[in-house]
């Protein structure tokens, strides 16, 4: 693991790192915030998965999470959203290919050799982080924004023993019924829609739910409500009897101005379950 940068931040360290990934078969960049408490004891980890077009950097800069993570003694990890490189498959559309990994393991050409983001985020990177940083491997929360909210929800509901807390900001909530989902699953997973089901939060919610209360915020001024489909997941939560809140926030859009406005609530939510 190579250190790209480390800066003191809220008494802890905000770092950016690079490593050769075996899952994605390319160099991957990620960011970690370690709170001051980690100087004494291992700390829980909150995983933040980003949305379409983002790198490790967007939330690190714009989500305003570090101060609250320092207050509550949580590490933050910001993975990239896809493999990247000139020799890696890509697409002209912003919502397919590099920057748009959708947190699945691709099985189809030309994506399969590198687009293994499920394995990267749930297996390879956690192992690396647990080795390189003073974190508790047994205390993980997960959250994310938009495509990253989709990732957080589907990962946590599929691996409930690994994640003790779950939240999301404006998640893509029913991708098998949305152009933010059908297009990508078709490309990455192929035309057999039965393989898509494992990556749809609304379906997973009806089948499994999550063992702890979840927190989801969604702006009502979001331009992408038709693609995100919050009502589908909200209905599934009601049908399941899932503990938690799907908060519809008046006037907020899809930007990081929305995410940062509610970050403190999410950090508190995770800290209560992780510490």
| Identified binder of a second copy from the candidate list 253, 265, 273, 275, rule CB under 8 A | 253
Q: Considering only CA atoms, which of 49, 212, 68, 228 is closest in space to residue 143?
A: 49
- Which whole-number Å values give the CA distances from 14 to 6, 76, 81, 196, 223, in the listed order? 6, 9, 19, 36, 32
Phi, psi torsion values for 64, nearest 5 degrees: 55, 40
Does 260 help bind a second copy (rule: CB under 8 A)?
yes
Assess whether the previous peptide bond of 191 is cis (omega < 30° from 0): no
* Residue 37 structure tokens: 């408490």
Among 43-51, 60-68, 181-189, 267-275, the segment contacting a second copy (CB under 8 A): 60-68
Q: Which is nearer to a second copy, 231 or 261 (CB)?
A: 261
| Identified binder of a second copy from the candidate list 105, 252, 267, 274, rule CB under 8 A | 252
Minimum CB–partner distance for residue 65 and a second copy (Å): 10
End-to-end Cα separation, the chain, in angstroms = 28
Q: Which of residues 215-234 bind a second copy (CB under 8 A)?
A: 219, 221
Say which residue the tokens 């559309």 belong to. Answer: 93
Does 67 help bind a second copy (rule: CB under 8 A)?
yes
Q: Which is nearer to a second copy, 68 or 185 (CB)?
A: 68
| Identified binder of a second copy from the candidate list 2, 7, 20, 93, rule CB under 8 A | 7
Does 258 help bind a second copy (rule: CB under 8 A)?
yes
Minimum CB–partner distance for residue 1 and a second copy (Å): 20
Q: Which is nearer to a second copy, 85 or 221 (CB)?
A: 221
Q: Which residues, 6 or more positions from 168, have their beta carbon under 8 angstroms from its beta carbon?
A: 143, 144, 145, 148, 149, 150, 152, 153, 214, 215, 216, 217
Does 9 help bind a second copy (rule: CB under 8 A)?
yes
Site size for a second copy, by CB under 8 A? 22
Q: What's the rounded Cα separation, in Å, for the pair 73 and 191?
A: 44
Q: Which of residues 15-54 bind a second copy (CB under 8 A)?
A: none
Does 241 help bind a second copy (rule: CB under 8 A)?
no
Give SS3 for 152: helix
Q: Considering only CA atoms, which of 57, 47, 62 is closest in space to residue 103?
A: 47
Minimum CB–partner distance for residue 203 and a second copy (Å): 31
* Residue 87 structure tokens: 């020799």
What are the catalytic residues? 146, 222, 254
Minimum CB–partner distance for residue 64 and a second copy (Å): 5
Binding residues (CB under 8 A) for a second copy: these are 7-11, 14, 61-62, 64, 66-67, 219, 221, 251-253, 255, 257-258, 260-261, 264
């Amino acid at each position: 693991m190579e250190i790209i940068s480390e800066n003191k931040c809220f008494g802890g360290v905000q770092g950016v790192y690079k490593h050769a990934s075996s899952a994605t078969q390319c160099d991957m960049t990620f960011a970690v915030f370690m709170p001051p408490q980690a100087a004494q004891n291992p700390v829980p980890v909150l995983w933040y998965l980003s949305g379409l077009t983002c790198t490790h950097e967007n939330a690190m800069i714009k989500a305003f999470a570090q101060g609250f993570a320092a207050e509550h003694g949580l590490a933050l990890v910001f993975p990239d959203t896809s493999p990247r490189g000139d020799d890696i498959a890509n697409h002209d559309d912003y919502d397919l290919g590099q920057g748009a990994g959708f947190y699945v393991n691709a099985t189809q050409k030309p994506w399969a050799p590198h687009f293994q983001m499920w394995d990267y985020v749930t297996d390879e990177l956690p192992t690396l982080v647990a080795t390189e940083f003073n974190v508790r491997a047994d205390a993980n929360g997960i959250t994310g924004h938009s495509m990253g909210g989709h990732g957080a929800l589907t990962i946590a509901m599929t691996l409930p023993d690994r994640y003790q807390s779950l939240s999301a900001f404006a998640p893509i909530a029913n991708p098998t019924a949305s152009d933010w989902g059908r297009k990508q699953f078709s490309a990455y997973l192929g035309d057999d829609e039965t393989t898509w089901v494992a990556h749809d939060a609304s379906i997973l919610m009806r089948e499994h739910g999550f063992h702890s209360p979840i927190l989801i915020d969604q702006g009502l001024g979001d331009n992408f409500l038709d693609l995100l489909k919050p009502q589908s997941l909200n209905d599934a939560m009601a049908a399941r009897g899932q503990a938690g809140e799907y908060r519809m926030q008046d006037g907020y859009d899809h930007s990081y101005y929305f995410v940062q406005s509610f970050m403190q609530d999410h950090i508190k939510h995770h800290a209560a379950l992780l510490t």
